[in-house]
Amino acid sequence: MLYGIAAATTSLLLAAFLAALLRLPALRLGIVDRRRQRPLPLLGGAGVVLVTCLVVAAGEWTGFAPLGPQVERLLMAAGAVAVLGLVADVRRVKARFLVGGTAVAAACVVPYSETGFLFGLPAVGWIVLVAVGFKALDHADGLAGTVGVVTAFGVGLLAAAEVMDELAVLLSVLAAALTGFLMHNWHPARIGLGACGSLFVGFVLASTAVMTRTGHDPVSSVGVLYALTALATADVLLVALSRRLAGRPLLRGGPDHLAHRLRRVGLTPPAATVVLGLAAFSGVFVGVLVHMGWIAESGVFWVGAGALVAVFGLLLIKPYAPRRQPSFPVGGSVRPPAQATSTQVRAQLRVRNG
């Protein structure tokens, strides 16, 4: 107990320190998100990854919190995913590169001996979906970090209930590191999570959730896992439907995520993050109650129904600006700007040459 408190406190302070320390190098190296109104440095996620891995590894080295082979394999796979995300932060890479690498890492952490190959493959796909979903949540200040903290606490409760102490320690350290990072990521954000941190957080949360549900009924496990990450999956569904209906490429970015649409109806950036954080907490809370057996499994259907209502309701908000059509004078001749410019230049040359 005392070690867990000390580890969480250390993670919070170190993550806050690294987030402040890495901001200037990220700006100088050009590791920034240029899609926002102002360039946002993206090495905050690298700080979260470093703090989480170092503090958890310190527990293994000191013998206070042995990891075990399963958690060691999870950390190595999550570290590989973080490296992929860091590459994406430094230079543009195709989305299939990130998805494929995350899928390979997920295939290495699923406990096939307990889930079986039949349920292991869907688990791999679900881990990839959640990791990509958390990357998508990084579109607003403080959103991915807030949802990550809430989800980490929920999955940590599941791990404690299953007497998986090593997973509980890992999740508490991750939640504390994200809390320290949020000190610099709340609106207006001074540093961002980036693909490195968001993929790492989503991967760890999804993988540990799968581990805590091994041995339970597969049908109820699907409901619990969905409830724990309902917000991230709802954002992915909303964006996919929106771009499909608008005829836009699925992988083409745009202001069509959850927080973007809430801001269009008048919410401030902090208010949108708080609303979505409460929505994430509701899903996690139901998932924990169902796992503990304190409410019926049908409770997850209410989470799914609420998410669908929210998705279809937000679809009514048009996020894409209409294309501007060129206006031409009625009855007049149209001359392209380049042609008009060249004609003027020739006229000026004739005047100068007499």
Confidence category of residue 353, pLDDT binned at 50, 70, 90: very low
Query: What is the pLDDT at residue 328?
Result: 46
Confidence category of residue 34, pLDDT binned at 50, 70, 90: confident
Confidence category of residue 1, pLDDT binned at 50, 70, 90: low
**Is residue 175 within 8 Å of residue 152, measured between CB atoms?**
yes
Which token pair is 183? Answer: 């000190």
Tens digit of pLDDT for each residue in 67-80? 889 899 999 999 99
Tens digit of pLDDT for each residue in 106-145? 999 998 888 888 889 999 999 999 999 999 999 999 999 9
**Is residue 269 within 8 Å of residue 259, measured between CB atoms?**
yes
The lowest-confidence range among 109-118, 126-135, 152-161, 172-181 is: 109-118
Query: What is the pLDDT at residue 195?
Result: 96
Q: How far apart are CA 315 and CA 344, in angstroms?
A: 49
Q: Check whether 334 has a pLDDT greater than 80.
A: no
Tens digit of pLDDT for each residue in 281-309? 999 999 999 999 999 999 999 999 999 99
**Is residue 140 within 8 Å of residue 37, measured between CB atoms?**
no
Confidence category of residue 345, pLDDT binned at 50, 70, 90: very low
Query: What is the pLDDT at residue 67?
Result: 85
Q: Check whether 150 has a pLDDT greater than 50.
A: yes
Q: How far apart are CA 339 and CA 348, in angstroms?
A: 14
Burial class (CB in 10 A: 0-12, 13-18, 19+), 203: buried
Helix axes 143-161, 194-213, angle to 10 degrees: 20
For residues 60 and 278, the model is more confident at 278
Q: Check whether 262 has a pLDDT greater than 50.
A: yes
Tens digit of pLDDT for each residue in 99-111? 999 999 999 999 8
